[in-house]
Amino acid sequence: FVVSVAKQYQNQGLSLPDLINEGNLGLIKAAQRFDETRGFKFISYAVWWIRQSILQALAEQSRIVRLPLNKVGLTNRIQKAFSQLEQQFEREPSAEELAELLDMDLDEVSASLSISARHVSVDTPISEGEDGTLLDVLENPNAEKTDGELDHTQSLKTEIDRSLKTLTERQKEVICYFFGIGVDHPMSLEDIGERFNLTRERVRQIKDKAITKLRTANRINLLRTYLGA
């Protein structure tokens, strides 16, 4: 099934043999990480890793082709800040947050991010040229999926639902808005505060407590492993 997935990404910068090789690397990683005790089918689990590996290779190829030499230093600086904020927020930072940290022009940061696609996550487009993300597929009952993708996304949705049920209703709402789960896009602490008539600090406290609870329940790490995040 690596070949069938690889064929979906032809004519985007890599030859079919190269795509298959990248997909095989994803398959190996899936085999190394698969835990049958979780109740997921291996093929469902492997499909996402195969896609991730291929998309990463395509993104890197695009970066190599399109990134001017005088932008390399700037891109490395942005990616360092990206990693810093990602660890701090436990999610991918927005271009606005990066621009604020680096005291840079927002358009410049956005342009750099668009040509240096760093890695694949739950918010990454399913394929180049498509706007939909994995979370969109989870929420869209009309989306066309293969049998393997149906099993995978349903298993993932079930795990997300189980995780959120360990939270209070307010914690669940804050986490969903902050990480963009089931909504159009992630919201800042300020925006969430305005929605619930709470201060930014109070929203941060609710978010941090919810994340601590998820860690205690050993759910957030399970989701990260499953998504490759």
pLDDT under 50 in the chain at which residues? 64-65, 69, 117-150, 152-153, 218-229
Q: Per-residue pLDDT tens for 104-163?
A: 888 888 877 765 544 334 444 444 444 444 444 333 344 344 444 445 445 555 656 677
Question: In the prediction, which pLDDT does 59 show?
Answer: 67
Q: What is the pTM of this model?
A: 0.36
Q: Residue 3 domain-assigned?
A: no
Q: Residue 76 domain-assigned?
A: yes
Question: In the prediction, which pLDDT does 54 show?
Answer: 83
Identify the CATH number of the domain in which residue 95 sits: 1.10.10
Q: Residue 85 domain-assigned?
A: yes
Whether the CB-CB separation of 200 and 189 falls below 8 Å is answered with yes
Q: Residue 100 domain-assigned?
A: yes
Range of the domain at 80: 69-114
Q: Residue 164 domain-assigned?
A: no
Give the chain's domain count: 1
Q: Exposed e or buried b for every residue in 130-167, given b needs 16+ CB within 10 A?
A: eeebbbebbeeeeeeeeebbebbbebbeebbeebbeeb
- The sign of the dihedral angle between the CA atoms of 113, 17, 31, 181 is positive
Whether the CB-CB separation of 207 and 175 falls below 8 Å is answered with yes
C-alpha closest to that of 227 among 128, 144, 156, 125: 156
Question: In the prediction, which pLDDT does 39 show?
Answer: 64
Q: Which of left, alpha, beta for 129 (phi over 0: left; psi -120 to 50: alpha)? A: left
Q: How is residue 94 written in tokens?
A: 């927005």
Question: In the prediction, which pLDDT does 197 show?
Answer: 93
Q: Residue 49 domain-assigned?
A: no
Q: Residue 83 domain-assigned?
A: yes
CA distance 224 to 227: 5
Q: Residue 209 domain-assigned?
A: no
CA distance 188 to 95: 12
CA distance 204 to 83: 20
